[in-house]
A and B are shown apart, each in its own frame.
Chain A
Amino acid sequence: MSAAVEEGDRLAAAATTRRRRQSGALTHAILLLGVLAVVFPIWIAVVGSTHDASTIGRGDVPLLPGAEAVENYATALTGGAGRFSSSPATLMLWNSAAMALLIACGKIAISLLSAYAVAFFSFPGRMVAFWTIFITLMLPVEVRIIPTYQVIVDLDLFDSMAGLTVPLMASATATLLFRQFFLTVPDEVVEAAKIDGAGPLRFFRDILLPLSVTNIAALFVILFIYGWNQYLWPLLVVNDRSLETVVVGLTRMIGTGDAQNEWNVIMATAVLALLPPVAVVVAMQRWFVRGLTETEK
């Protein structure tokens, strides 16, 4: 009798394991499919960047890399080949890196300062300042392109790195995030610093900044990507090709999308354009996920 019950239990357990294993296989299948869909366009771009132009022009893009990688990337980096002579990618990558770093650092710096002022001081106009900053959150560049562009022209910032970066530096999200974090710093810490004779600037530099390092790192990842991926703004504000960023330069290489384009060089440039921000995300994944979920709160 009890042996039969045990036998039944054993069978039931085996069935559960089997079901679990099946659902495990399904889970893996779905995830693999997702990864495949995510990776495939990039893989084909990488493959495309390692063949010669005529193979691609004939429409015979293979599924495996070819032997022309070095040549294609060299052409892309030095630029100037083909019918649509483009700026060298070295220059465009440099411009993108400068733009992304300036925007990220600038945003972090001015947000830290203004969040500090709003969180640690009591002064007339504090709430007005806070709301003024808050409003910027609601007006993305895209909806005020034309008038902002006119301001740039009036200030003689057209075709300059300053025109490219400064207008994108005001950031409500970063300010709100830092303010939120500053409000969690216990009053005792501030009191102790005051008793020890630290002034506001000393307190900011020696106590608050070291405490904010993780937040700064998290924000940096998000803002670097934000800066690197800018499109409409550089398209409008920069005409001088020596200031061209890689994302804009890449789309200019396509022209009207002819089959006769040097697609191998274009794809090499595309890979170069997506590599730096992807590298930042993969290298700083922990901070990235944190930064993303925190800034959106």
Chain B
Amino acid sequence: MRRRVIFRGTALPLLLLAPQLAVTAVFFLWPAGVAVWQSVLQQDAWGLRTEFVGLRNFAEVLADPDWRAAAWNTAVFSAAVAGLAMGAALVLAAQADKSIRGARAYRTLLIWPYAVAPAVAAVLWLFLFHPSIGLIGRALNANGIPWDTRLNGGQAMALVVLAAAWKQVSYNFIFFLAGLQAIPKSVLEAASIDGARPVRRFWTIVFPLLSPTTFFLLVVNLVYAFFDTFGTIHALTGGGPGKATETLIYKAYVEGVQNTNLGSAAAQSVILMVLVIALTMVQFRFVERRVHY
């Protein structure tokens, strides 16, 4: 889409674009290029010599059992976070969409956790589930369920999933509610007159009409679980116990910052970039459809 009436000139628009382009070039394009470049290089153990190794870093990363374990953790973690956060949000949005007393108050109360930082959410959940001082952690231990996220990898994973999903429910809720409100009431009334019960109405009419929103949210939730939850994991478990909660982004961080293994870290970053670009493409292709559905 272009406008008919426009201003003339080349210098002024370029000047207006300069700040954005400068930041983009210096902090986005250049580092991304460097990452791609470093991913095909390898330093020797003393960091003295660097040689071109082609795709060897990628081959090594993909064959590394630790990386594969992290990939599996990421898959489990993301599926659990997206499923939990979207499921809970859909149930709540379907209720909040009804004309009931206090609907606005419920909405406000459900929306604001969006503002809580992932790392702060982690601290709140740690305080609840701490094995010796946490309200719930202690209660579990007192009732014969041995609970310690510092020893049990499965429990650690469950806790990071809870902390990450908790924060994301409000985001999904906002979008599901907007999606529900956009469904014409006449369609539902017609189905109702035809004798369709609420549950049937939901699955045969509401849910299909909501599928664009659902699909959009799925992509957003996956991106959130892949990248934004670094703070949750860093603050809550540090990737442990062992490597039970180490996701791909966390592993890239450990490799690059703590082990300063640049070639491998760069290869991992490039793999993540490809992943996020693929997800964004899917999202945009789908946005086109979402507008016209």
A34 to chain B, nearest CB (A): 4
- Beta-carbon contacts of A145-167 to B below 8 Å, as 1s and 0s? 11110110001000000000011
Instruction: List A contacts of B98 (CB < 8 A).
Output: 24, 27
Q: Are B265 and A146 in contact (CB under 8 A)?
A: yes
Say whether B252 faces chain A, with CB atoms less than 8 Å apart. Answer: yes
Instruction: List B contacts of A257 (CB < 8 A).
Output: 126, 130, 150
Q: Count residues on chain B whose CB falls below 8 Å from chain A CBs.
A: 101
Q: Give which listed residue, A37, A58, A111, A296, contacts B216 with CB less than 8 A.
A: A296
A170-B135 contact given A110-B19, A147-B38, A285-B108, CB 8 Å threshold: no
Say whether A3 faces chain B, with CB atoms less than 8 Å apart. Answer: no
* Assembly CA distance A251 to B138 (angstroms): 22
What size tier do the contact residues of chain A reach? 35 or more
Q: Give which listed residue, B20, B108, B121, B125, contacts A110 with CB less than 8 A.
A: B20
Q: Are A281 and B231 in contact (CB under 8 A)?
A: no
Say whether B128 faces chain A, with CB atoms less than 8 Å apart. Answer: yes
A209 to chain B, nearest CB (A): 13
Q: Give which listed residue, A27, A114, A200, A296, contacts B100 with CB less than 8 A.
A: A27
A147-B32 contact given A138-B276, A170-B24, CB 8 Å threshold: yes
Q: Are A292 and B119 in contact (CB under 8 A)?
A: no
Q: Are B273 and A183 in contact (CB under 8 A)?
A: no
Query: Counting chain B CB atoms within 10 Å of each CB, which of A135, A146, A151, A167 scores highest?
Result: A146
Instruction: List A contacts of B130 (CB < 8 A).
Output: 257, 259
B183 to chain A, nearest CB (A): 15
| Given A277-B116, A281-B112; 10 other pairs, CB 8 A cutoff | A48-B127, A120-B3, A144-B273, A145-B269, A167-B26, A170-B28, A231-B119, A231-B230, A285-B111, A293-B174
B residues with CB within 8 A of A = 1-10, 12-14, 16-17, 19-21, 23-32, 34-35, 38, 88, 91-92, 95-96, 98, 100, 102, 106, 108-128, 130, 132-135, 138, 150, 166, 169-171, 174-175, 178, 198, 216, 220, 223, 227-228, 230-231, 234-235, 249, 252-253, 256-257, 262, 265-266, 269, 272-273, 276-277, 280, 287, 291
A residues with CB within 8 A of B = 23-24, 27-28, 30-31, 34-35, 37-42, 44-45, 48, 56-59, 61, 109-111, 113-114, 116-126, 129, 132-133, 135-140, 142-148, 150-151, 155, 166-167, 169-170, 175, 183, 187, 190-191, 194, 200-201, 203, 225, 228-229, 231-232, 235-236, 247-248, 250-251, 254, 257, 259, 263, 266-267, 270, 273-274, 277-278, 280-282, 285, 288-289, 292-293, 296-297
